[in-house]
A = this chain, B = another copy of it.
């Protein structure tokens, strides 16, 4: 039985605690958080008891340290907790592999985490990087215990995935927000758009987004495009509509 400690109190930490609690061969050892209140709020959400601390001095030995804190705090923090016998992983999509002469690694889960969502951990892609093969093997074993989607990924590839994720998750969600704004303006329930949102995401699980493209820009239907632009009341929305329409026109023109 190997032990894992979690560092951080955010959504990634929450789901990693949950994921580890379901494993047979890995056990949660300790949870560390700088902020006592956030830490106890996090640990109180679980039905099992958690050994937690907010003091650096009380951090105990474990086989794996999984650091789920903000990117700009990771380097300094890992400097403090690094230990020659402990595999210390960060979960950042953009940060390099740190402290190469310790047993450090990258353990990047490519998913959007919120406490509201029940995630199927077996489906989460874990993008792994390590200084050497022996560390890599150990983190592959850990990641494979959680998920069926484990990938050895270079720093450069991980950074590309991270920026892609901004397009397909953060920006996509912003377009959902704009859809909701338009609905609110005309007092149409946003509910009505939800099946379309779901189906649009499910479609590209089967076919390439290039093939899945539909809509007035794809058809070069200038009349509908002009009507839509006319109907939008916000300049911001118009600018986004125009830019994305032009981008689709360029790709399919």
Contacts and interface: CB of A to CB of B under 8 A. Distances in A.
Interface in A187-205: 187-205
A197 B193 contact: no
Secondary structure of the A contact surface, majority rule: helix
The listed residue with most B CB atoms (<10 A of its CB), out of A123, A175, A202, is A175
A85 interface: no
B180 A210 contact: yes
Contact of A71 (B186, B199, B224, B228): B224
Interface residues of A, number: 93
Interface of A: 71-72, 94, 110-112, 114, 116-117, 119, 123-125, 127, 149, 151, 153, 156-157, 159-180, 182-183, 185-210, 212-218, 221, 223-224, 227-228, 231-232, 236, 239-241, 243-244, 247-248, 250-251
Given A71-B224, A153-B188, A194-B205, 6 more contacts: A72-B223, A94-B227, A164-B179, A172-B200, A173-B214, A175-B175
7 contacts: A111-B199, A149-B195, A166-B216, A167-B241, A171-B240, A174-B247, A198-B201
